[in-house]
Every structure is written in structure tokens, then in C-alpha cells.
């Protein structure tokens, strides 16, 4: 005979209407705004449960603005149906009760200059004052939030003359 097991965080705090599996992830749709213990509060009626780490994850844009019913997986896409018209944060409107979510992970990195976080996409770093043509010694660490090793860059950076 089998054995029942509770999911972490006391599950979810309202009804679950749909489940869909994609790889190691279980996508859950329903009327819940968060986890049962209140740890996650912005799930927006749809969540991803990582079966390898036993952790709940919010989807981007605070989920959806109303109940989620059917879920279907096709390749890297999760198709979602329900009573929603937009994402939970309102950034994507006119969804018309059906949407496609691309489940592929975006690469996530953190760039550090010592202990100072350099936001990705800012395109600039202040090196302080120096003479033109004089090398500056700086160390940057690019941290992979996944499983690969971090990359540390320590070569001097030279500001060209002219």
C-alpha cells in the first residue's frame, strides 16, 4: 500500500483545480493566492513545485488575476486556461482566459565588484579616478545562480589613451 505525504509549506491556501507535469516540475493552477503557511503570498493562482528540491516557486508577473482551471504542457510551453484577463501585476493584459507560458529558464547571474552588486544590464561600472593609459586592478565575480562554477575576472583593465 502507498503512503500519503504532505507537500511543504502546508500546501496551498485555497482550491487547486489543475495539475501538469513538465520534467521535474509540477505546475499547479487554482484559486490560491499563496502557500498554506503564508510563506509565499504572491503566487497569483498558479505555481511551480520543484519535485527534486520539494520547493514552491512563484511564476513571473505575480501569476494571473483570476482562477486557473486547465493546464496542458507541450514541449517547453505551459498552456493555461481559466477566468483571468491579465497577469497578477497587470503588466500583460488582454489574455482572454487563455495564455502560453514559456517554461525555459532564463540564465541568471550576479555580477559583483568586491561586495558591491552590479545590476545586470546597467552597462557601466565606476572605476574611480585614474590617469588615461594607466591599468586599473579590479576583480569581478560572476556568480551563476545555477549549478555551474562562478567565474572570477582579475586581469587589469586599461583605459586607452585618446
Write down the domain spans for the chain: 8-102, 109-158
pTM value is: 0.67
Measuring CA to CA, how many Å separate 20 from each of 27, 68, 72?
Answer: 5, 12, 6
Count of CA atoms in the C-beta half-sphere (13 A) of 160: 1
| 58 neighbors 101 (Cβ within 8 angstroms) | no
pLDDT at 138: 64
Q: What pLDDT, on a 0 to 100 scale, did the predictor assign at position 128? A: 66
Query: pLDDT at position 93, please?
Result: 96
Give per-10-residue mean pLDDT for the chain (162 aa). 95 98 97 96 95 94 97 97 97 96 72 56 60 67 60 60 56
**pLDDT the model gives residue 82:** 98
pLDDT of residue 104: 86
Give me the pLDDT at residue 94, please.
96
Write out 103-141 in H/E/C secondary structure: CCCCCCEEEEECCEEECCCCCCCCCCCCCCCCEECCCEE
pLDDT of residue 111: 56
In this prediction, residue 28 carries a pLDDT of 99
Amino acid at each position: 500500500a502507498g503512503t500519503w505525504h504532505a507537500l511543504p509549506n502546508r500546501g496551498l491556501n485555497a482550491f487547486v483545480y489543475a495539475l501538469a507535469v513538465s520534467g521535474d516540475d509540477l505546475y499547479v493552477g487554482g484559486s490560491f493566492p499563496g502557500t498554506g503557511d503564508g510563506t509565499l503570498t504572491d503566487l497569483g493562482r498558479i505555481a511551480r513545485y520543484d519535485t527534486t528540491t520539494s520547493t514552491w516557486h512563484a511564476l513571473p508577473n505575480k501569476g494571473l488575476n483570476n482562477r486557473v482551471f486547465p493546464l496542458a504542457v507541450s514541449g517547453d510551453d505551459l498552456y493555461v486556461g481559466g477566468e483571468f484577463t491579465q497577469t497578477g501585476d497587470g503588466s500583460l493584459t488582454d489574455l482572454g482566459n487563455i495564455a502560453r507560458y514559456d517554461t525555459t529558464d532564463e540564465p541568471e547571474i550576479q555580477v559583483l565588484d568586491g561586495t558591491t552588486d552590479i545590476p545586470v544590464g546597467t552597462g557601466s561600472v565606476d572605476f574611480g579616478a585614474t590617469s588615461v593609459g594607466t591599468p586599473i586592478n579590479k576583480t569581478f565575480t560572476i556568480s551563476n545562480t545555477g549549478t555551474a562554477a562562478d567565474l572570477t575576472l582579475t586581469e587589469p583593465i586599461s583605459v586607452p589613451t585618446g
